[in-house]
Structure 1
Amino acid sequence: MEPLRSMIGKRIELELSGCKSLLHGEFIDMGSDVLVLYSNSKYIYTPIHHLQHLRLSEEWENHTVDASPDSKMDLTNISYRKMLMNSRGIFTEIYLGGAHSLHGYVTGIMNDFFVYHSPMHQTVYIPVNHVKYLIPYPPNMTPYSLSQEHFPVQPSGVALSRTLDQQLKKLEGQLVVFDLDEHPHKKGLLKSVNDKIIQLVLACGDDIYLHIDHIKSVHLP
Structure 2
Amino acid sequence: MTKQQHPLMNCYVDLEVSGKAIPLRGKLVDMGQDILVIHNGQQFVYVPIIHLQQLRAVTSQETIEIVVPETPFEHPNDPISYRKILMNAKGMFSELYITGNQSIHGYLTSVMNDFFVFYSPVYHSVIVSLTHLKYLIPYNPNATPYTLTPEQFPLKPSPLTLARTFDQQLRKLVGEFVILDLGENSNKIGVLKGLDQNMVELATAGGNSVYLHLDHVKTVHLP
TM-score by length of 1: 0.94
Give the alignment of 1:70-219 within 5 angstroms.
71-75=72-76, 76-219=78-221
**Gaps spanning 5+ residues in structure 1: where?**
none
**Gaps spanning 5+ residues in structure 2: where?**
none
Matched to 1:214, the amino acid is: H
Instruction: Quote the residue 2:41 is aligned against.
Output: 40
CA–CA distance in 2 between the matches of 1:53 and 1:42?
21
Change (3 A) 1:60 1:187: farther
Matched to 2:185, the amino acid is: H
Task: Deviation per CA, 1:11-65: give whole Å up to 9, x if none.
Answer: 0111011212101100011011111000032000001111111111134654111
Matched to 1:127, the amino acid is: S
How high is the sequence identity, in percent, across the aligned residues? Answer: 44
RMSD: 1.6
CA–CA distance in 1 between the matches of 2:68 and 2:39?
10
Matched to 1:66, the amino acid is: V
Task: Deviation per CA, 1:142-200: give whole Å up to 9, x if none.
Answer: 11010111111111222100011111111111110011111111010111112221110
Instruction: Quote the residue 2:56 is aligned against.
Output: 55
CA–CA distance in 1 between the matches of 2:101 and 2:152?
27
2:23 equivalent to 1:22: yes
Change (3 A) 1:149 1:60: farther
Change (3 A) 1:62 1:95: closer
TM-score by length of 2: 0.94
CA–CA distance in 2 between the matches of 1:59 and 1:25?
13
